[in-house]
Amino acid sequence: MCPTAQDAQLPQDDETRRLLAAFEACRAKELAAADQLSKPRHSMLYPAYARLVNALGAVRLKCNDIRLAIRAHRKELRDKGK
């Protein structure tokens, strides 16, 4: 979820900015974890690989939670505007 033309149409309050910043930070962590899995610097034993997979899953869940919070907040802003 990247900033789009729709973002420009909605007023950006402090909560929107906070949620977008949190999402960007979480997304960066997700990309870094996925990169570690897809391009390991050295060979990994299965336990290390499993830990990275679990960490990536946890980060993805957190990103999805933030994404849902952004969607709910935008809906709330749209409903207030009507």
Each residue's pLDDT tens digit, 1-26: 455 545 555 567 899 999 999 999 99
Q: Which residue has the tokens 């900033």?
A: 3
Domain count of the chain? Answer: 1
Residue 29 included in any domain: no
Residue 28 in any domain: the answer is: no
32, part of any domain: no
Contact status, residue 33 vs residue 55, Cβ threshold 8 Å = yes
Q: Whose CA is closest to 51, among 67, 40, 64, 62? A: 40
Domain annotation covers residue 34: no
Over residues 46-69, the mean pLDDT reads 96
Average pLDDT over every residue of 54-74: 97
Q: Is residue 37 scored above 80 in pLDDT?
A: yes
State the Cα–Cα distance between residues 24 and 48, nearest whole angstrom.
26
pLDDT at 26: 97
Host domain of residue 67: 15-23+45-82
Residue 4 lies in a domain: no
